[in-house]
A and B are shown apart, each in its own frame.
Chain A
Amino acid sequence: EPEVTQTPSHQVTQMGQEVILRCVPISNHLYFYWYRQILGQKVEFLVSFYNNEISEKSEIFDDQFSVERPDGSNFTLKIRSTKLEDSAMYFCASSAQGAGKNIQYFGAGTRLSVL
């Protein structure tokens, strides 16, 4: 069964460092997403990506964040200068369809710990 894969499963970094979280979406999907879940809180939308550009982003997704699809399979989230409050689980998701019947499949997540 196709699945979304994320690497690494756990990333530890020092405050102020740059991190790149990687995702391989399901191969025939066209819409890609990043969500974040701070421990004990809701899963929150960060950004959606379609046709090689950002479609929508939340207020959380400020200038410190960027996304890229560097090739036909990978989808990355970069945090330029990490802050303590960036510590969270980051989930990548993909779907075949955008609005409407938008069934999103999630990866297992990357746990980011900023020290």
Chain B
Amino acid sequence: QKEVEQDPGPLSVPEGAIVSLNCTYSNSAFQYFMWYRQYSRKGPELLMYTYSSGNKEDGRFTAQVDKSSKYISLFIRDSQPSDSATYLCAIPQRSSNTGKLIFGQGTTLQVKP
């Protein structure tokens, strides 16, 4: 089983829709969870990070962690065309002494005006 799995999409939604992006992970020892946004041919940009279970909200973005299911989600409310990008979940590998990140495949999102 892969350590971090993410449906690559693509996902296409109309402007204003609520978007749900998801990742599953295999190692129950993971504690920190991150979401990065990557525009075409650019570097990953940190959107949000969460620790342990629960929700964290930042503007139109909500990150959710369900450790019992090993499932993490990113919700985007009132999606905008500028949200069109690839969204990457990333988890620091706990056994790594420098916290190397394990990335999901990335989900490509297109928000249509």
Contacts and interface: CB of A to CB of B under 8 A. Distances in A.
B105 A106 contact: no
Contacts, number: 81
Given A42-B104, A42-B105, A99-B92, A106 B97 contact: no
Contacts of B94: 99
B51 A91 contact: no
Interface in A4-42: 4, 6, 31, 33, 35, 41-42
- Give chain B's interface residue range (CB within 8 Å of chain A): 20 to 34
A108 B43 contact: yes
A45 B101 contact: yes
Contacts of A4: 43
A89 interface: yes
B99 A109 contact: no
B96 A56 contact: yes
A109 B92 CA distance: 20
B43 A91 contact: yes
B41 A89 contact: yes
A40 B29 CA distance: 29
Given A42-B104, A42-B106, A43-B103, A106 B98 contact: no
B96 A99 contact: yes
Contact of B88 (A31, A43, A89): A43
B46 interface: yes
Interface string A89-115: 101010101111111111111010000
A48 interface: yes
Interface string A30-66: 0101010000011111001010000110100000000
Interface of B: 31-32, 34, 36, 41-46, 49, 51, 88, 90, 92, 94, 96-106
Interface of A: 4, 6, 31, 33, 35, 41-45, 48, 50, 55-56, 58, 89, 91, 93, 95, 97-109, 111
19 contacts: A33-B98, A33-B101, A41-B105, A42-B106, A43-B44, A43-B101, A45-B102, A48-B98, A56-B100, A95-B99, A97-B99, A100-B31, A100-B92, A101-B51, A102-B32, A102-B98, A106-B36, A106-B46, A107-B43
